[in-house]
């Protein structure tokens, strides 16, 4: 069997933007529908989303019906949590709150089978990738770290230079909080703008993909035009409520 090519990782390596939608509702129906719409990746949010082990697996089964790369944000940088997601078949892990190069190195090791890393041999749902899964999974696994504190900004170049880190996913709200800035006002705060630009430059200097958590396709497109690559462009909840609010205006109820 030919190795599964992680098309999202391939795009990032080619210097192209990769766009994704995030899942927070824990709905496999939403996962299945969004995975089939043509988006590059689907992110299961195990940090802030409404997910348990069973709903995570159900959503991964739904995602497998489409072309989108299955990615998950782990609740925290934890060896067992990461291992379970990998064993269930995700092809990319997003690590929250990575503040140092040492933490980034540890995160990479969780995602790699020895001798490259420390991942345990054995898997569950990932067996559907074929008997040759262990031969190619290290190369195809996508590792994204979140830069979301002023400490991480200061260490951004060292973090991004860590071997095995493919890119970052900047969390603007938590970064703002770490700087004493109201997240709702961060977009116009010069301190925050400079910190964001510093992260983008660090990615350019190290040849890694710069990523950003954006709430809408328009915002993602604008970031892509500025050189950002790994971009979430909306969520299941956001799309549902956006449509509902637009409906209320049409109905004259808002």
Mean predicted lDDT score pLDDT of the chain: 97
Does residue 254 carry a pLDDT above 90? no
Is residue 128 among the annotated active site residues? no
Percent of the chain with pLDDT over 70: 99
* 85 found inside a domain: yes
Among residues 48, 99, 128, 192, which one is catalytic? 48
Average pLDDT over residues 192-217: 97
* 254 found inside a domain: no
**With helix as H, strand as E and coil as C, how does the chain read?**
CCCCCCHHHHHHHCCCCEEEEEECCCCHHHHHHHHCCCCCEEEEECCCCCCCHHHHHHHHHHHCCCCCEEEEECCCCCHHHHHHHHHHCCCEEEECCCCCHHHHHHHHHHHCCCCCCCCCCCCCHHHHHCCCHHHHHHHHCEEEECCCCHHHHHCHHHHHCCCCCCEECECHHHHHHHCCCCHHHHHHCHHHHHHHHHHHHHHHHHCCECEEEECCHHHHHHHHCCCCCEEEEEEHHHHHHHHHHHHHHHHCCC
pLDDT the model gives residue 2? 63
What pLDDT band is residue 4 in, cutting at 50, 70 and 90? Answer: confident
* 60 found inside a domain: yes
pLDDT in tens, 127-162: 999 999 999 999 999 999 999 999 999 999 999 999
* 64 found inside a domain: yes
Q: Which CATH number fits the domain that encloses residue 170?
A: 3.20.20.60
Average pLDDT over residues 34-44: 97
As for how many domains the chain has, the answer is 1
Quote the domain boundaries for residue 44.
7-249
């Amino acid at each position: 069997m030919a190795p599964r090519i992680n098309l999202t990782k391939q795009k990032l390596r080619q210097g192209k933007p990769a766009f994704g939608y995030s899942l927070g509702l824990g709905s496999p129906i939403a996962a299945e529908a969004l995975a089939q719409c043509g988006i590059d990746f689907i992110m299961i949010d195990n940090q802030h989303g409404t997910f348990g082990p069973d709903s995570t697996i159900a959503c991964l089964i739904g995602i497998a019906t489409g072309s989108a790369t299955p990615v998950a944000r782990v609740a925290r940088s934890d060896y067992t949590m990461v291992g379970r997601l990998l064993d269930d078949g995700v092809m990319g892990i997003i690590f929250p709150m990575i503040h140092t190069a040492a933490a980034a190195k540890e995160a990479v090791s969780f995602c790699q089978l020895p001798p490259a890393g420390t991942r345990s041999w054995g898997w569950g749902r990932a067996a559907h990738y074929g008997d040759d899964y262990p031969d190619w999974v290290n190369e195809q696994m996508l590792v994204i770290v979140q830069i979301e504190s002023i400490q991480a900004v200061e260490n951004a170049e060292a973090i991004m230079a860590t071997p095995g880190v493919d890119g970052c996913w900047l969390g603007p709200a938590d970064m703002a909080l770490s700087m004493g800035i109201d997240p709702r006002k961060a977009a116009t705060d010069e301190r925050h703008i400079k910190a964001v630009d510093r992260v983008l430059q660090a990615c350019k200097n190290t040849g890694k993909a710069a990523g950003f958590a954006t709430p809408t396709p328009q915002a993602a497109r604008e970031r892509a035009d500025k050189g950002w690559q790994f971009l979430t462009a909306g969520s299941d909840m956001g799309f549902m409520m956006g449509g509902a609010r637009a409906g209320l205006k049409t109905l004259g109820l808002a």
